[in-house]
Amino acid sequence: MGGAGSEERAVVENREWYLAAYAPEGVPTSDHLKLRTVPLSLAVDSIPDRHLVVQNLLISVDPYQRTRLTGLEDGLYFPQFKLNEVITGFTLGRVIRSKDSNYKEGDIVLNAFSPVAEHYVVPSELLIRKVDPTSGVPLPDFLSSLGVPGFAAWVGIEVLGDPKPGSNVFISAAAGAVGMYAGQLAKLKGCRVIGSTGSDEKVKLIKEEFGYDDAFNYNKETDLDAALSKYFPDGIDVYLDNVGGNMLEAVLNHVNKHARIPVCGMISQYKKIWTEREGVRNLLNIVGKEVRMEGFLVGSYLDRFGDFTKEMQSYIIEGKISSKFKIYHGIERYLESLGSLFTSSNVGKVIIEVNP
């Protein structure tokens, strides 16, 4: 195992999660993802030039990782992980060996394709960047408000949703990583913001901590159409879709003329093979209401990442955007933490602290 003192050792017993079997449906289990221990040499001679050894500190747990476990190349996000290979994700780690003069031991680095492991060896050119741990921004924020979830919320709301003061904005999975920032960003634009989420506790949280004007528990609303009539008497101008399925269908009955629907994800459908997914029967409403519905991936907006960072960082410093984290302690909890995204047992941004 890693942890304090690994800097002095020549070999670490490195724990890593690998794909043992594909999971086309349902929530992945220990049949699909397994933890193994593999010795990793830290001897400087064994590290190639312009490579680093990184000890992971924080691992981001994200819904798209589940879409890479199906074994089905059905066009979702990224290619499938390979059997018996270590899975990857966004991480923040500390450099503990460096064969690149641009990096020194102790540097904190961000990696979008890090092995979900305690340590890894990487060509330095594959890292996203260094992170300044003295910037005043807590490290978990680089995987959350200033990372993919914050950026996805910003692209969805500010770039594609383009809400005006007074616009009626609806956000699903509103208590999750993307949802908590999307609601706060829309409020900062002067919108009326309503969220849906899966429990009464989360309804309370998003109203009290993230400033949503109102919210409802979709598990309690047996008639989503009626719920949206109640919460949107003047219709919906912007819907940031995180869940797809029957919620999207209900929304399409309440959209205003020229509404925007930035489609960030459709998590309600990720556990199903595509022929079993829910169809949306009233897509025709997009025509009559001239709705702009647009899927997006944050990776296509990297030219706006600087604008996003500047804006988000100032909101954080001014205390206008807050975050909630669900931290799991220890890499052995990765499988459980991934499952929490699909059983609604998470709240805020889910992160693994690797060596607590």
Ligand X SMILES: NC(=O)c1ccc[n+]([C@@H]2O[C@H](COP(=O)([O-])OP(=O)(O)OC[C@H]3O[C@@H](n4cnc5c(N)ncnc54)[C@H](OP(=O)(O)O)[C@@H]3O)[C@@H](O)[C@H]2O)c1
- The footprint of ligand X (CB under 6 A) covers 62-64, 148-149, 152, 173, 175-179, 197-199, 202, 242-243, 264-265, 267-268, 296-298, 341-342, 344, 346
Torsion, Cα of 349, 353, 354, 356 (10° steps): -170
Determine the Cα–Cα distance for residues 332 and 34; give it in Å rounded to an integer.
9
Quick one: 289 or 305, whose CB is closer to ligand X?
Answer: 305
Quick one: 52 or 261, whose CB is closer to ligand X?
Answer: 261
Min dist. Cβ of residue 210 to ligand X (A): 13
Min dist. Cβ of residue 297 to ligand X (A): 4
Min dist. Cβ of residue 276 to ligand X (A): 13
Look at residues 52, 34, 33, 50 and name the one whose alpha carbon lies nearest to residue 42. 52
Min dist. Cβ of residue 296 to ligand X (A): 5
Say which residues have a Cβ less than 8 Å from residue 138's Cβ, sequence separation at least 6. none
Supply the DSSP symbol for 176. B
SS3 assignment, position 192? strand
Quick one: 171 or 331, whose CB is closer to ligand X?
Answer: 171
Torsion, Cα of 31, 33, 34, 39 (10° steps): 150
Q: Work out whether the CA dihedral 8, 11, 15, 18 comes out positive or negative.
A: positive
Quick one: 66 or 254, whose CB is closer to ligand X?
Answer: 66
Quick one: 173 or 316, whose CB is closer to ligand X?
Answer: 173
Look at residues 329, 346, 318 and name the one whose alpha carbon lies nearest to residue 242. 346
Min dist. Cβ of residue 66 to ligand X (A): 9
Min dist. Cβ of residue 57 to ligand X (A): 19
Quick one: 145 or 197, whose CB is closer to ligand X?
Answer: 197
Alpha-carbon separation of residue 220 from 34, 156, 226 (angstroms): 35, 27, 12
Quick one: 103 or 239, whose CB is closer to ligand X?
Answer: 239
Look at residues 80, 91, 86 and name the one whose alpha carbon lies nearest to residue 128. 91
Encoding tokens for residue 22? Answer: 């594909």
Query: What residues form DSSP beta bridges with 39?
Result: 13
Q: Which residue is closest to ligand X by CB?
A: 176
Min dist. Cβ of residue 220 to ligand X (A): 12
Half-sphere exposure of residue 108: CA atoms within 13 angstroms, side-chain side: 14
